[in-house]
Each structure stands twice: as C-alpha cells, then as structure tokens.
Structure 1
C-alpha cells in the first residue's frame, strides 16, 4: 500500500494556505512569496526507509523515516518535531505533538492534510 505514494509530485492546489501560514507564525512577506511557489515532492524507498524530499526555490528539505519508529522531521515552517509515521488503512499518518499530516491518494493525486498548532492546510499534488 505504501508503494502507491512513491514518485514525484508537484503541488497543484491548496486550501487555506494563507490562514494556515499566518496561524503558524509565518511572516506576511514570506507568505506573499510562498503563495506563488508550487513545491515538488519526491517520495522514495530504500529497504525499510522512506524519504520525503520537498523541493522549493529557497530551500529543499529531506526527511527519512521508518514506519512505526519515532523520528525527527522538519515542518513546513522549518521547525523540527518528533513524530511517528504509520499506515492507517490507505493513509500514511504522521503524528507528533501539535502536528499531524495525513497523506493519501485521492483520484490519482497525492492529498496531504497538514495540521500544525491547530491550523490546517490541505494540498493536492499531481504526478510529475
């Protein structure tokens, strides 16, 4: 089931981008710049480890993890948080303190619902 997430995706649409970014403390000038950026996500697998790489013009982040094991990841804001990532049905669920990401395939697109400090952003990415 996890193999369905492997590949390269480009953000196509986002819901509540501005509200989410403001809510988690991103300055307005950065939000204005980021609004025009549609990051690329590369999800790869090497043995039992997965790597999620987010490619943006100003910064690329890379988080590697094993399902069911606690790990530290970098958030959309650049903070480091400890999380555990598990498969729950057809969803990959990342949970940490005040942080949750639900990743699933929705109509052939990668759908990510990100909740950080009570603020939620949903984005859909198409295969590149």
Structure 2
C-alpha cells in the first residue's frame, strides 16, 4: 500500500500539552490548534518526501527508508535520524520524540507522537 497522496487533518488529541512540552510558544500553540494541516506524501519505492503545510508554515522532509537523513522537527530544529518502515507504519525517533505514522485503510493516516507520558494523536483523511 502506497503512502502517496494528500491528507487533511481531521482530528487531534493532546495538541496543547504536547506543543508546550516541546517548547513551542503559547501564541504559536493558540494559532496552530484550529488549523487543519495538510500532509502531502510522495513515495517512490523506499524514498519519501513529506510536506506538511500548517497555515503559512511548511515543513518538508525527504528520506530513504533505513538510511540516516537530516529531518526537521516541529520546532524547526534539524536532527539526523533513520526512518524505519514496519509493515504499514513509518517509525522514527527525533530528540526523544517517538513518531509512528500508520496508513490504516488506504485513506486514513494516523500519526502518534510520544514524548515521555504525553501522547499526541493526529488523524488525517485522504483528500
């Protein structure tokens, strides 16, 4: 199953506590909490390009499964890490944050970000 496509955020849980925990300023948290971000994934074999647009902020990460890549975090920091593909799940660890992105039925993307005891869940639907 290919991850390629555009997905719009449908729902999220624990957005504010998670964003506070990673150090985002309150004004950005308030601005971002009601924006329906759009994730565009381009998959060519084991190569991925992920573009997440949230309002005027655009985050782009490109990586090859199993190879070290420089990835940009939600705070704009660049971190070297390796993305693994486990069945229909993309898994990566960035500065203590465990990220799992799962393509459920071809149309639903679940993204779970875990930092300590805080679990931030996002559900997006294919557009």
What is the TM-score with the length of structure 2 in the denominator?
Answer: 0.89
**CA deviation vs aligned residue, 1:39-84 (integer Å, no higher than 9, x gap):** 1000002454210001122211110000000111111121111111
| 1:69 is the counterpart of 2:28 | no
How far apart in 2 are the matches of 1:45 and 1:106? 16
Which aligned runs of 4 or more in structure 1 are off by greater than 3 angstroms?
Answer: 116-119
Aligned partners of 2:53, 2:78: CA distance in 1, in Å?
A: 17
**Which residue number in structure 2 is paired with residue 99 of structure 1?**
97
| Structure 1 residues not aligned, in runs of 5+ | none
Could you tell me whether the CA contact under 8 Å between 1:101 and 1:112 is conserved in 2?
Answer: yes
Consecutive unaligned residues of structure 2, counting only runs of 5 or more, are none
The 3 A distance-change label for structure 1 pair 13 and 22 is same
Q: Which moved more, 1:110-119 or 1:34-43?
A: 110-119
Which position in structure 1 is the counterpart of 2:11? Answer: 13
Work out the number of aligned pairs and report it. 126
Q: Is the partner of 2:55 in helix, strand or coil?
A: coil
Aligned partner of 1:115 in structure 2 is: 114
Q: 1:57 to 1:96 in 2, by over 3 A?
A: closer
Cα distance, 1:114 vs structure 2? 1.4
CA distance in 1, matches of 2:93, 2:19: 19
Whole-angstrom distance in 2 between the partners of 1:73 and 1:117: 21
CA 1:96–1:32: 2 relative to 1, 3 Å: closer
- CA offsets 1:73-103 (integer angstroms, 9 cap, x no match): 1111211111111111321111244132101
Aligned residue in 1 for 2:58: 60
